[in-house]
Amino acid sequence: MTGKQKTTANLPPLSPKDDFVFRKLFGDQNHIDMVVDFLKSFVKLPDKDYAEITIADPKMVPPTKDGKTCILDLKLRTRAGEIIHVEIQRDDTGEMRERMAVYGSYLLSAQLASGKPYKSVKRVISVLITDFHLLDETTDYYTDFCLRNRDGSIVLTDVIEFHILELRKIPQSEDGKEVWRWLKFLSASTEEELTMLQQTYTELQKPVARLMEMSADEIVRHQKDAWDRARRDEEARIRLAEARGKAEVALNLLKEGIPISVIAKATGLSPTEIEGLPAQ
């Protein structure tokens, strides 16, 4: 392979549920058939819409010099102009439901220019793949939502819908759903698992081959390492800023004569940490 070097045989394949790897794998217009096959397994759209899917943000912006990273979501447009937003999350922030609703609403409202009628907005299909339990109300690994009345008999509008796929809930044995195969692929962590999936399911032959090619590409691995380092640095900066903010609050409360036990409860700092704050 020109410009590429094989990695050592002992390195495991890259994880397709890593957000960088997922974006690199599915965010290539030259291989748009893979993301189309994935979406077809659970999102119901007319074939004519699937016939022309384009990636709205084809370029992956690298980490910036100050360490900040860009969100690695995948934004697609159908032939009819519908927006499909796909993201994969491995960590639960505790606000994923609200975040999903707010961002989906933003993708709707952002379409409206001044004076443009509401009926001109195109449908937004928001897809969230999680590597944690998000919906404790159900054991199903795939759940979809739309705007209905409480008994489900009336659809208010189909202008927005949400699809949630929870990797931690997928059963070990195939359940007859096409989307199960794709989620098993995203959950695969060994070359043996990937080879089995590739040999068993026709639609996974290309994704597995692409993933193995990426895994054997030192440039891709270096890019992923750079993203990971930038993310860790940004998280460390956030933690430091939060700690400084808590310390400042604690010092102000100490000046007001607030008991240390109350300050500890309010800030999350331990009594020892509060006692060790420099006097000002």
pLDDT digits (tens, 9 = 90+) for 179-238: 999 999 999 999 999 999 999 999 999 999 999 999 999 999 998 888 888 877 777 777
Average pLDDT of the segment spanning 97-125? 90
Assign residue 85 a region (left: φ > 0; alpha: ψ between -120 and 50; beta: otherwise): beta
DSSP state of 77: E
Q: Is-above-0.95 flag for pTM?
A: no
pLDDT of residue 5: 44
Residue 167 in any domain: the answer is: yes
* Comparison of pLDDT for 76 and 67, the residue scoring more: 76
Give residue 273's pLDDT band: very low, low, confident or very high (50, 70, 90).
confident
Q: Taking all residues of the chain, what is their mean pLDDT, rounded to a whole number?
A: 86
Same-domain status, 137 and 247: no
* CA 210/CA 201 separation, integer angstroms: 15
Residue 69 confidence (pLDDT): 46
- Taking only Cα atoms into account, the Rg of the chain, rounded to an integer number of angstroms, comes to 23
Q: Are residues 261 and 190 in the same domain?
A: no
Domain membership of residue 222 (yes or no) is no
Residue the block writes with tokens 């509008």: 157
| Whether residue 57 is found in the same domain as residue 152 | yes
Residue 248 belongs to some domain of the structure: yes
Range of the domain at 271: 234-275
Are 252 and 168 in the same domain? no
Within a domain: residue 98?
A: yes
Domain count, the chain: 2
